Amino acid sequence: MQFRPPIFLLFFFTAAPLFPQIPEWASSHQDPSYPESEFLIGIGVAPGSRGEESARRGARSDIAAQLRAKLQLESKNIRQVYNLEQNQELYADFKIMVSSVADEELGWIEIARTALDTSTNTTYVLATLPKKKIADTIAAGLSAGWGDVRALRRGARSLLEKGRLAASVRNLSDARTAATGLLPKQALYDALARGHFPGDLSLGPVQLTADILEILSDVHVEKIRGDKQKGKIGEKFLEPFVVRVTITINGKSTPVDGASVVFLNLSGEEYGEAVTDAGGIASCVIQARGRIGRQLRARLSLPLAGREFSSSLNSASAVFECTPLEADAAFSLKVYGSSSTVGDLLRNRMADAVSRAGYRIVDMSRFVLRVEIQSTRPELVEGNDEPVYSVSSNITITLIDKASNTTLGSLTVKSARKSKSQSAALEESVRGSNFDEIQLTSLLEKARN
Q: What is the pLDDT of residue 185?
A: 95
Q: Are residues 360 and 434 in the same domain?
A: yes
pLDDT tens for 101-155 read 888 888 899 999 999 998 889 999 999 999 999 999 999 999 999 999 999 999 9
Q: Are residues 311 and 353 in the same domain?
A: no
Q: Are residues 238 and 134 in the same domain?
A: no
Q: Are residues 342 and 442 in the same domain?
A: yes
| CA–CA gap between residue 349 and residue 75 (Å, rounded) | 53
Q: How many CA atoms lie within 13 A of 322 on its CB side?
A: 34
Which own/partner pairs from 375-379 qualify as long-range (CB within 8 Å, at least 24 positions apart)? 375/338, 375/426, 375/429, 378/422, 378/425, 378/426
How many separate domains does the chain show?
3
| CA–CA gap between residue 149 and residue 82 (Å, rounded) | 15
Amino acid at 181: G
Residue 26 lies in a domain: no
Last residue of a domain, one of 161, 196, 217: 217
Cα 446 to the chain's mean position, in Å? 38
Residue 416 lies in a domain: yes
Residue 441 belongs to domain with CATH number:
3.30.160
Residue 16 lies in a domain: no
SS3 84: helix
pTM across the whole model: 0.69
Q: Are residues 272 and 252 in the same domain?
A: yes
Q: Are residues 312 and 401 in the same domain?
A: no
Q: What is the pLDDT of residue 449?
A: 58
Which residue stretches of 82-196 are H helix? 88-101, 131-161, 165-192
Residue 20 lies in a domain: no
Q: Are residues 291 and 162 in the same domain?
A: no
| CA–CA gap between residue 354 and residue 360 (Å, rounded) | 7
- In whole angstroms, how far apart are CA 284 and each of 94, 162, 257? 40, 24, 16
Q: Are 117 and 124 in contact (CB under 8 A)?
A: yes
Q: Which of 320, 300, 321 is nearest to 217 (CA)?
A: 300
SS3 197: coil
DSSP type of residue 226: -
Q: Are residues 43 and 124 in the same domain?
A: yes
Q: What is the pLDDT of residue 5?
A: 54
Residue 380 lies in a domain: yes
Q: Are residues 238 and 348 in the same domain?
A: no
Q: Are residues 424 and 315 in the same domain?
A: no
What range does the domain containing 425 cover? 330-448
Per-residue pLDDT of the chain (449 residues), as tens digits, is 454 555 444 444 444 455 568 999 999 999 999 999 999 999 999 998 788 999 999 999 999 999 999 999 999 999 999 999 888 888 888 999 998 888 888 889 999 999 999 888 999 999 999 999 999 999 999 999 999 999 999 999 999 888 888 889 999 999 999 999 999 999 999 999 988 999 888 999 999 999 999 999 999 999 999 999 999 888 889 999 999 999 998 888 999 998 899 999 888 888 999 999 999 999 999 988 877 888 999 999 886 655 678 888 888 899 999 988 888 788 999 999 888 888 888 899 888 888 878 888 888 889 999 999 888 887 887 656 678 888 888 899 999 999 899 999 999 988 888 888 888 888 888 888 887 777 888 888 888 75
| CA–CA gap between residue 213 and residue 215 (Å, rounded) | 5
pLDDT tens for 295-343 read 999 999 886 655 678 888 888 899 999 988 888 788 999 999 888 888 8
| CA–CA gap between residue 325 and residue 117 (Å, rounded) | 92
Residue 8 lies in a domain: no
Residue 247 belongs to domain with CATH number:
2.60.40.1930
Residue 234 lies in a domain: yes
Last residue of a domain, one of 158, 189, 217: 217
Q: Are residues 173 and 208 in the same domain?
A: yes
Last residue of a domain, one of 325, 359, 391: 325
Q: What is the pLDDT of residue 9?
A: 44
Residue 80 lies in a domain: yes
Give the strand pairing for 241-249 and 219-225.
Answer: antiparallel
Q: Are residues 77 and 179 in the same domain?
A: yes
